[in-house]
């Protein structure tokens, strides 16, 4: 049976509002991370949100965030 968009499985962080605080907490905790890694994580999350929270693009978002941070730190 084919699912409609409204019947999407609730496994995605974008699927339910209840998971959002947990996702934000994981991103903002930064325990054991370098400042650069934390900045990359926060920027990748922002990119993900700006693009409408698409699934399966995490590597693209991470690499774009890394490139942006590397560029800004080299100037």
Question: Whole-angstrom Cα distance, residue 31 to residue 63?
Answer: 21
Per-residue pLDDT of the chain (75 residues; tens, 9 = 90+): 444 444 444 444 444 455 577 666 666 666 667 899 999 999 999 999 999 999 999 999 999 999 999 998 887
Short-list 45, 37, 42, 47, CA closest to 70: 37
**Can you tell me the distance from the alpha carbon of 58 to that of 75, in angstroms, rounded to the nearest whole number?**
26
pTM reported for the whole predicted model = 0.60
Rounded Cα distance between 67 and 1, Å, is: 42
Rg (CA), the chain: 15
Q: How far apart are CA 50 and CA 53, in angstroms?
A: 7
């Amino acid at each position: 049976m084919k699912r409609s968009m409204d019947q999407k499985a609730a496994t995605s962080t974008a699927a339910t509002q209840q998971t959002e605080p947990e996702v934000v907490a994981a991103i903002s905790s930064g325990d054991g991370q370098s400042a650069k890694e934390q900045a990359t994580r926060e920027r990748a999350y922002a990119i993900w949100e700006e693009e409408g929270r698409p699934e399966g693009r995490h590597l693209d978002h991470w690499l774009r965030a890394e490139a942006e941070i590397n560029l800004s730190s080299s100037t």
